[in-house]
Each structure stands twice: as structure tokens, then as C-alpha cells.
Amino acid sequence: MPRSQTSAGLIIAVIAAATFGGSGALAKPLLESGWSPAAAVTARALVGGVVLAPVAVMMLRGRWSALWRSRGRVLAMALIGVAGTQLLYFAAIQRIPVGTGILIEYMAPLLLVAFAWARTRRMPKAVVLVGSVVALVGLVMVVSPGGTASLDALGLALAVAAMVGCAIYYVVAAQPDDGLPPVALAAAGLLLGGLALGAVGLTGLVPFTVTFGDVALFGNAAPWWIPLLLVGVVSTGIAYAASITATQMLGSRLASFVGLLEVVAATFYAWLLLGEQLTLPQLLGGVLILVGIGFVRSEKTDAPIEPASVDRTAPAPIGVQRHL
């Protein structure tokens, strides 16, 4: 792909990681005030979808058929990328430590490398393998997962399923757009995904509680809707639109590696805004993730194997989220 497109895609991907990474710090006041995780992610998805909807409508004017042609991709984004992965992740961390759940889910880039290996029957180049190992070591250092004492088989299986969902998110986002703007895919996916999450919450399968009093936001009292708007607009609407745009430009594999910066950003925001400890190993882990991304970015391919490199005039194949 052209170097200018890659550079622009990397910048947009970093913006996506920076905005996604703020979701934990922004949503924590809601969780501490009594909101359940499922209710918080449902509300943020719906707010993000509503915010993007007017832009999506403007961009789709005169070409609504693109939305219908991409219905499979939209449903996959909504049910897997927005709703499914989040539910699996929250179900997992009820049984295993949060750090372990995040670590497993964010191994999605390695799954994409393995998938490309199996699909093409070509061993990834050395720079990709080295980058994968370096990035994984960095991720472990940033996340600092809990010990194995509280692990159980079902929790691990749910976390692995969340990892598969995260990988599918990147594959879906990287598919040729077939005339559907990234903002429209993000808006439709968030709205439908939010409705699906709400429906699951109404069934009682997961705790679904909300409160409407003041919350403690960065040391001050604030109405509950302020952190909800911030996480919905910035860390959901803008973040998803940027992430899908970047993934279409970079391809699923490179975009997923850049997505590891979300963990680094989340750790930084927790230190800056919430006063949580930021350790030297975490800083070194962030550097290793950057080094790993650099290795993967430096790969020179002789033939396009990424979904984003497919001829956009051909029919698009039907090909996963962000948690708090």
C-alpha cells in the first residue's frame, strides 16, 4: 500500500487507541456509583451510535443501498464486535483476574498472524514473528496479570472466546467498504450492538443496574451523565469510527498490533486521572509494544494478503470492541 496511506492509517490508529484507552478512567465513576459493567457498556454504545448517526446519515445520502449491501458486515460488527466480545469479556473476569482476561483478549493480533499463516500456508516473515513476541512480552509487562490460583477452565474459555471476537472485529473492520463509509459502519454497529446488549440485560442473564445520582469525577462531584457523555462520545463514537477507518487503511493484522496501544493508553490515563501507580516495568512494556509494532510495520510483502489490500471493486466477503 502507498506509504502515505500507511502513515495516515497509523496516525488514525494511534488516535483510536488513545480514545479507546480513556474508557476505563471515564467510566470508573459510573461503576463506583452503582452502574453494572453491562449497563455501562450498553449506554456507551448507544450514546456513541446516536452521536455518529447524523454524520452517517449525511454520508449515506443518496447511497442507502450500501448499508443494505453491507448488512452482513454491519450485523457482524454489532453482534460480535460490539456486543458479543464485551459480554464474553465480562463473563470471563467474573471467574479470572481482570489482568489475565485483558491479556488473553489482547492476544488477538497473534491469532490473526496464525490465521494468515494457516490460510496462506506461508510462514510469517521473521520481522512479524519477532514483532509478535516482543509485543506480547510488552503486553504482559503492562497488564501484569494475576496469578493462576483463581483461574478456572470456564473463565479461560470465555476469555479465549473474547480474544476470537476481538480478532473478528479487526477482520470485519478491514473488509472492503463496498461504498459504506466507516462512520456509517461504526454508527450502525454501535446502535444495533447497544440494543442487543440491552436485550441481554433485560433477560437477567447479566447484572444490569443503573443509578442517576452525582458521581465522583476526578475528585469533584458531577452529574452521572457527564462521564457517560464523555465515554460515549470520545471513547466510543470517535474511537470506533477512527479504529474502523484505520483498519481499512492498514489491514487487520497491523491495525490489531497498533490496537495494543489501547492498553498502554488505559494505564497512562489511570495514572494521570485516577492516581493509580505507574511502574517502570509498565513503561518498559509500553516501549516493547511500540518496538513490536515497528517490526510488524517493517514487513515487506510480495503479494497482498490483508483484507484491506483486496480490490475494492470486487464483492466484499463477510467476515470485535472494546470493553471498559
Return phi, psi of residue 313, to 5°. Answer: -90, -10
Please give the Cα distance from 191 to 271 (Å, whole number). 31
- Band of pLDDT at residue 307, cut at 50, 70 and 90: very low
pLDDT at 37: 87
Q: What is the DSSP string of 115-182?
A: HHHHHHT-PPPHHHHHHHHHHHHHHHHHH----STT--HHHHHHHHHHHHHHHHHHHHHHS--TT--H
**Stronger pLDDT, 50 or 316, i.e. the higher one:** 50
* Domain locations along the chain: 3-211+222-308
- The pTM of the full predicted model, rounded to 2 decimals, is 0.87
Query: Does 185 score more than 70 pLDDT?
Result: yes
Q: Which three cell numbers stand for residue 10?
A: 497509523
A 10 A CB-CB count for 90 gives 20
pLDDT at 301: 52
- Going by their DSSP bridges, the two strands 220-222 and 215-217 should be labelled as antiparallel
List pLDDT tens digits, range 54-76.
999 999 988 899 999 999 999 99
Query: Does 315 score more than 50 pLDDT?
Result: no
List pLDDT tens digits, range 29-55.
998 899 998 899 999 999 999 999 999
Query: Does 150 score more than 70 pLDDT?
Result: no
List pLDDT tens digits, range 17-33.
999 999 888 888 998 89
- Band of pLDDT at residue 306, cut at 50, 70 and 90: very low
119, burial (CB in 10 Å: exposed 0-12, middle 13-18, buried 19+): exposed
With pLDDT > 90 as the criterion, what percentage of the chain qualifies?
A: 60
